[in-house]
Amino acid sequence: MVYLIYHSNAEHEAKVNIASGLINGYFDITRHTNEDWQKMIAKAPYEFFDLKGEKAHITFTTAELRQHTSNAVRLIEVYDSIVLMQHQLMGLYKYDRVPTGRLYYRTNIKPGVYMHATGEATEYAPSTLQYIANHSHLRGAHIWGPAHETGHINQTRPGLMWIGMTEVSVNIYSQHVQTSFGNPSRLQTENISGFGNRYEKAFTQIIAPELAHGAHSDVFCKLVPFWQLQMYYAKARNKPDFYKDLHEQIRLNPDPPSDGLCQIEFVKLVCDIAGEDLTEFFEDWGFFRPIDQDINDYGTRRLTVTQQQIDETKAYIAQKGYPLPNGAVQYITDGNLGAFQANNPVITGTANRTGHMLTMNGWHNVAVFEVYHNNQIIHISPRSSFSVPSLPQTITVIAVGVNGSRHTVAF
């Protein structure tokens, strides 16, 4: 395939003679209609075909486009929207940093390819086009793949991509696109062995045992606090510019010299932009727990956060005199977001136990239920009915309100 492109704003007239070859054509959303598309794709002579949007450029295999793309206008609009939403979240529009080019989506026909991002494009196997070249499928359950790969291109590094974060911070963007299209949150709905969803697993395996954030192996569990910040500030507290401002400060500030200091700097910036003391939030999520561990993340580096660095960061936040957040931010989920927005007091209910299953009836405005045995948290669930593996006979359950209040559950 040969492309002829003018890299100039001036008007040009040029005559080009290609001794052999055929004009393949391309679809341009600013010039062509869906009727044009049907004619173009029907007679396209080459195995790849291009669609040019305002923010996205697609080069997919012609055979799959003929089979799966009935509406090229709608398809390129979805890809344009993916790029737009992520650039908005990154603050590129607010701070006049919008790139002038387009993000490139292309088919890779090599064996073994599924979906991935390179330094210059995102690539997809022909077999995936039945979902991502069909606008109806794409804007629904299959938006995650292209949104995720687009997120890799857009990751702000190293300030939001220290070691262990490559497959974590990318999904801030995936979650944002997925839910903005009206789809349910993957963290909220995805079935996880032994847990009702990813929130329950993250609460139980990071917060309950007081684990260092970087030490957990599940990238989706590690994603939870980053998505919680978006839900709490942008949605529950009506601060839609939170991540926009955070990205800008990361861009403006000098890059910290180590991965551990990137994590520490992130904590400081979040508190400064929120204007609140989030020490408890970051304590619970393991950002304030020492770690000195090799992390394998497309290559191995050591993540080190010392107690001295933690103490200095806590002192930095304390001297700012910020107020505490008005709620249990560490327990916000897509499922209880409405309760956090209303911020009403807890309405108590009843509870019963059947084997390992605990069921709470009539409780309202509860963020999570914490299950204790011998004064140690053994399970944390944001759901009203949940199973606790190896549940001891003697337990205490505390209902934590969205406003941070705590109530003992009677069985």
Tens of pLDDT along 358-380?
999 999 999 999 999 999 999 99
**pLDDT for 161-202, tens place per residue?**
999 999 999 999 999 999 999 999 999 999 899 999 999 999
Q: What is the pLDDT of residue 382?
A: 98
Q: Phi and psi of 374, rounded to 5°?
A: 55, 45
pLDDT of residue 5 exceeding 80, the answer is no
pLDDT tens by residue, 8-61: 888 878 888 888 888 899 999 999 999 999 999 999 999 999 999 999 999 999
- Identify the pLDDT of residue 200: 98
Q: What is the pLDDT of residues 282-317, one digit of tens each?
A: 999 999 999 999 999 999 999 999 999 999 999 999
244-254 confidence digits (pLDDT tens):
999 999 999 99
Identify the burial level of 218 via C-beta atoms within 10 angstroms of its C-beta, where 0-12 means exposed, 13-18 middle and 19 or more buried: middle
Tell me what the pLDDT averaged over the chain comes to: 97
Give me 290's structure tokens. Answer: 């020492």
* CA triple 268-273-279, angle to 5 deg: 45
Query: What is the C-alpha separation between 384 and 55, in angstroms, rounded?
Result: 43
Is the backbone peptide bond immediately before 158 cis, with ω within 30 degrees of 0?
A: yes
| Percentage above 70 pLDDT, the chain | 100
Task: Find tokens 């073994």 and name the residue.
Answer: 112
Tell me what the mean pLDDT of segment 144-172 comes to. 98
Q: Which amino acid is at 8?
A: S
pLDDT bracket for residue 6 (50, 70, 90) = confident
Are 221 and 229 in contact, with CB atoms under 8 Å apart?
no
3-state SS assignment for residue 367: strand
Q: What angle do CA 281, 401, 202 make, to 5 degrees?
A: 45
Question: Looking at residue 20, what is its pLDDT?
Answer: 87
